[in-house]
């Protein structure tokens, strides 16, 4: 179909969300097709899902890249268009109070890995990049090379918690251990922060007395498989509009935030 969007995915693990998206493309619930699956993890089980559906895949082994640069920090390994000063001022992933050496090493190794991702992705043009259990934070080096049209973000993520609660690597675990009565998942566009970008959709479930971490994860994942395709379809229908909102608080302070509006009719 001519008006199908081209979707690229990055994964790190089992890829059940990837599968839900592929299935939704197949069934027509998403007007789109998956054009590549990339991973940072050579052992990602989700790679077999891509293969079974004949979707091209690639691996950028972050672990190996990080070890290699730690053992031999050769500046020639860095991408030629990488400017550490510029990325340092924009990044918000590592505290600016942290040791500069540590910040530099993080940004340098990620830029090497992210440049490799971009090289692979450039071979397969895409409209939307979905992070489907991709467990690496992406830095401004990568984000700015994918989000090239101001005001039109095109990197989506799914997070296993009701953001802004419980960002990080263990959303369901953090929700369960905190003793929450409600858990959930969030689909959002990424920005420079960790799980902090504008929210597209959320779904929630009750956490009951007899729930365990395992049952919480099961409930959450079942919601993710529904929510993610729905949000992607809204993108495919061009119904997601990011707008800067300004709110004046009672104390006179002005609070600004970019939010996603879901419009009824397809935007021209
Ligand atoms: C999902 O629960 C997803 O929300 C989470 O990883 C799991 C991947 O499962 N993502 C994150 O925690 C990202 N910070 P899957 O590989 O079976 O789709």
Contact 176, 216 (CB under 8 A): yes
List domains and CATH numbers for the chain: 159-183+193-268 (3.40.50.170)
How far is CA 189 from each of CA 161, 198, 229, rounded to the nearest angstrom?
15, 6, 14
User: Ligand 1 atom closest to Cα of 18?
Assistant: 18
Mean pLDDT of the chain: 96
**Residue-level pLDDT at 169:** 96
Q: For residues 268 and 57, which has the higher predicted lDDT (pLDDT)?
A: 57
Residue-wise pLDDT tens digits, 18-40: 999 999 999 999 999 999 999 99
Q: How far is CA 229 from the centre of its chain?
A: 14
User: Ligand 1 atom closest to Cα of 221?
Assistant: 2
Residue-wise pLDDT tens digits, 60-106: 999 999 999 999 999 999 999 999 999 999 999 988 888 889 999 99
pLDDT at position 267 over 80: no
Residue-wise pLDDT tens digits, 136-191: 999 999 999 999 999 999 999 999 999 999 999 999 999 999 999 999 999 999 99
**Residue-level pLDDT at 268:** 67
Residue-wise pLDDT tens digits, 152-164: 999 999 999 999 9
How far is CA 198 from each of CA 164, 229, 234, rounded to the nearest angstrom?
10, 17, 15
- Contact 188 CB / ligand 1 (< 6 Å): no
Per-residue confidence at 2, pLDDT binned at 50, 70, 90? low
**Residue-level pLDDT at 266:** 78
> What's the token pair of residue 99?
């040791």
- Contact 133 CB / ligand 1 (< 6 Å): yes
Q: Ligand 1, atom 1: nearest CA belongs to which residue?
A: 133
pLDDT at position 265 over 90: no
Helices (H) and strands (E) in the chain, counts: 8, 9
Q: Ligand 1, atom 17: nearest CA belongs to which residue?
A: 16
Mean pLDDT across the stretch 36-58? 98
Q: Which residues are catalytic?
A: 159
**Residue-level pLDDT at 96:** 83
- Contact 160 CB / ligand 1 (< 6 Å): yes
pLDDT at position 121 over 60: yes
**Residue-level pLDDT at 81:** 96
Contact 161, 172 (CB under 8 A): yes
**Residue-level pLDDT at 215:** 98
- Contact 15 CB / ligand 1 (< 6 Å): yes
User: Ligand 1 atom closest to Cα of 15?
Assistant: 16
């Amino acid at each position: 179909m001519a008006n199908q969007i081209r979707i690229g995915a990055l994964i790190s693990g089992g890829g059940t969300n990837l599968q839900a998206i592929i299935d939704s493309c197949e069934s027509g619930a998403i007007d789109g097709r998956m054009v590549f699956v990339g991973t940072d993890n050579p052992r990602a089980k989700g790679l077999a899902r891509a293969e079974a559906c004949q979707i091209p895949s690639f691996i950028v082994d972050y672990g190996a890249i990080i070890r290699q640069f730690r053992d031999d920090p050769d500046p020639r390994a860095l991408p030629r268009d990488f400017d550490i000063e510029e990325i340092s001022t924009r990044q918000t992933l590592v505290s600016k109070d942290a040791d500069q050496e540590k910040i530099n090493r993080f940004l340098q190794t990620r830029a090497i890995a992210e440049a490799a991702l971009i090289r692979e992705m450039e071979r397969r043009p895409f409209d939307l990049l979905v992070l489907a259990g991709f467990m690496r934070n992406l830095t401004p080096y990568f984000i700015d090379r994918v989000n090239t049209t101001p005001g039109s973000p095109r990197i989506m993520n799914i997070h296993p918690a009701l953001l802004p609660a419980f960002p990080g690597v263990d959303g369901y675990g953090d929700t369960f251990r905190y003793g929450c009565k409600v858990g959930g998942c969030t689909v959002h566009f990424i920005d420079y922060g960790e799980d902090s970008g504008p929210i597209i959709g959320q779904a929630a479930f009750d956490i009951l007395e007899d729930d365990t971490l395992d049952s919480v994860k099961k409930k959450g994942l079942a919601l993710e498989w529904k929510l993610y395709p729905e949000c992607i379809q809204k993108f495919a229908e061009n119904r997601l509009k990011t707008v800067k909102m300004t709110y004046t608080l009672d104390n006179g302070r002005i609070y600004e935030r970019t939010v996603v509006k879901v419009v009824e009719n397809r935007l021209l």
